[in-house]
Amino acid sequence: MRAEPGSLFEEHLLAPRGRGALEDAEHVGAAGGAACGDLIRIAVRVEGERVRAAGFA
């Protein structure tokens, strides 16, 4: 798959927003298979009924 230079898709591939641990997360979930390396960890911080921050690693 090719990304058009300067496209939003290319921008996300080069510098994905939300990448990295969210240290003060209130909710954390993980999915995948650690044995083959396709594990993802998602963390969110919620205020009221709104997600205020999210991260993945």
Domains of the chain by residue range: 18-56
pLDDT attached to residue 15: 87
Give the chain's radius of gyration (CA, Å): 14
pLDDT attached to residue 35: 84
Structure tokens at 3: 């990304």
Give the whole-angstrom CA distance, residue 57 versus residue 9. 19
pLDDT attached to residue 32: 93
pLDDT attached to residue 1: 64
At 1-57, the pLDDT tens digits run 677 778 888 888 888 888 888 889 999 999 998 788 899 999 999 999 999 999 998
